[in-house]
Amino acid sequence: MITRPLDLAARLRPPPRNFDWVFLAVGGLIVLFFDLFGSRFVLAPGLGVDFRLPTMPGALAGASTTTPHVITIKGGGVVLTESGELNPAQLKNWLTAEAKTAKAPVLLVQASDDVPMAKLTEVGTIAREAGFAWVQFAANEPKAKPAGEPGAR
């Protein structure tokens, strides 16, 4: 071993006899801090890597500014807001409360490309009934194909 020529092993302190209770106390404090000061986003479901907005020609031309009211709808119909995951009854209450925070509120709906149109229509109807003046659905402009590929202009 490399410590033998300098006899460094003899100069080291001996290992502590028993500090198991310290490790348990630190683990308990970590759990307590997560419980008391933890954010709802620490272990909350996220968008994941498979979330893609639909593409639509003219999406940028039809874009408009919105108030800071945003909901995200994932493929299975899961609705995420800044308050967390909501079911349809909670969504209606959340939208009603949020519509009262602005004079002419506009809702931005970011829906994955595999969300059925019936779900989008349902969310749009709930938003309009809750008091939103306008519902804007997010979409991406399709990417232009490079010259020389079939279908390129």
Flag whether the pTM goes above 0.75. Answer: no
Model confidence over 90-117: pLDDT tens digits? 999 999 999 999 898 999 999 988 888 8
What was the pLDDT predicted at 89?
A: 83
Contact (Cβ atoms closer than 8 angstroms) between residue 45 and residue 80: yes
Q: Is the pLDDT of residue 47 over 90?
A: no
The whole-angstrom separation of Cα 135 and Cα 132 is: 7
**Residue 38 — pLDDT band, cuts 50, 70, 90?**
low
Average pLDDT over residues 122-131: 92
| Tokens read off for 129 | 């009934």
DSSP string for residues in 17-71: S--HHHHHHHHHHHHHHHHHH--TTSSS----TT--PPB-TTTTTT-----SEEE
**Residue 1 — pLDDT band, cuts 50, 70, 90?**
low
Radius of gyration of the chain (CA): 27
What was the pLDDT predicted at 125?
A: 93
Q: Is the pLDDT of residue 131 over 90?
A: yes
Q: What is the DSSP letter of 94?
A: H
**Residue 8 — pLDDT band, cuts 50, 70, 90?**
confident
What was the pLDDT predicted at 107?
A: 92
Q: Is the pLDDT of residue 44 over 90?
A: no
The whole-angstrom separation of Cα 23 and Cα 66 is: 50
Model confidence over 58-76: pLDDT tens digits? 888 877 787 888 999 987 7
| Tokens read off for 114 | 């595999």
Fold of 69-137: Nucleotidyltransferase; domain 5 (3.30.420)
Least confident of 2-6, 17-21, 85-89, 91-95: 2-6
